[in-house]
Amino acid sequence: MRIAITGSSGLIGKALVRSLRSDGHDVVRLVRREPEAVDEVRWDPKGQEVDTAGLTGCTAVVHLAGAGVGDRRWTAAYKQEIRDSRVLGTRTLATALSSMAAPPRVFVCGSAIGYYGDTGDRRTDESGPAGSGFLPEVCVAWERAAKPAQDAGIRTVFARTGLVVARSGGAWGRLFPIFRLGLGGRLGDGSQYWSFISLHDEIRALRHLIDTEELAGPVNLTAPEPVTNREVTAVMGHVLNRPTLFGVPAPVLRIALGDFAEDVLGSQRVVPRRLLDSGFTFDHPRILDAIRSATRDAP
């Protein structure tokens, strides 16, 4: 199978490329610079250009590109970058795919459980409504931007990913060094739910979305049982054999992170109903399994 991927230099993208190639698939990487290798194809999200000739023969396109939500403090300018990188990129790619004489059969578009906003203690599946606030608004616009692909009859799946447990990158990757130093602790009062997924299961789930013809629309990529931040803290300390004494009070987080602190302190108890109903099984369903797996991640 020939599969194109955006965001191939990111945490999830690198792992997906590695997994697909290990099984003999032909992977095309979309890049925003001049191509330097035979497996690269240029695209320009802001300029709304895609070299669709380089996508000829692709069965699937997986769109993972976007500015990191937790990479910087949320200034007005960076919030705009977060939004534009997702909405403009998705619209550009979906429009280009819809124009192809022989478009791919499936478009797996990255999204996030930020769609649901703060769900508190309420278990939420794909039938849940969009929340309110910056991240839900971004996610709604992000998914709507894929409409040209849907209108062209391309099976379009929105991979609403939770917190990916990995030591080699992403938000969780920044937790591991802190906990290894014995400086880890709960955030706020620790009662907020974190909907997690191991990197290993994230890649397996994305491949499941590519291969499962009946799946379209939103699919939550989270482990079956979300846990509280307090539970995460305890398991991190247990696996790494370090104390977890240094909690970070909510006011300190707000000073350090600005608007992003509300999302760190917010609670999302999201479950993967459609993924489970489609026959997917998790290798790491528990937070203990996911964190132990992350200690073995390839860098």
pLDDT tops 90 at residue 125: yes
**Average of per-residue pLDDT across 201-211:** 98
pLDDT class for 253, splitting at 50, 70, 90?
A: low
- Tell me the pLDDT tens digit for each residue of 138-158: 999 999 999 999 999 999 999
Q: What is the DSSP track for 86-115?
A: HHHHHHHHHHHHHT-SS--SEEEEEEEGGG
pLDDT at 265 over 80: no
Predicted confidence band of residue 173 (pLDDT cuts 50, 70, 90): confident
Q: Which amino acid is at 123?
A: R
When comparing pLDDT for 8 and 70, which is higher?
A: 8
Among the ranges given (170-174, 227-231, 282-286), the one the predictor scored with the smallest mean pLDDT: 170-174
Question: For 29, what's the count of Cα atoms within 13 Å in the CB-facing half-sphere?
Answer: 22
pLDDT of residue 298: 58
Report whether pLDDT(191) > 80. Answer: yes
What is d(CA 196, CA 173) in angstroms, rounded to the nearest whole number?
13
pLDDT above 60 (res 260)? no
pLDDT value, residue 266: 86
Mean pLDDT of the region 273-289 = 98
Give the residue with greater pLDDT, 261 vs 115: 115
What was the pLDDT predicted at 296?
A: 86
Rounded to the nearest integer, the mean pLDDT of the chain is 92
pTM of the model: 0.94
- Could you give the domains of the chain? 2-294 (3.40.50.720)
Burial pattern 126-158, b for ≥16 Cβ within 10 A else e, equals bebeebeebbbbbbbebbebbebbbebebbbbb
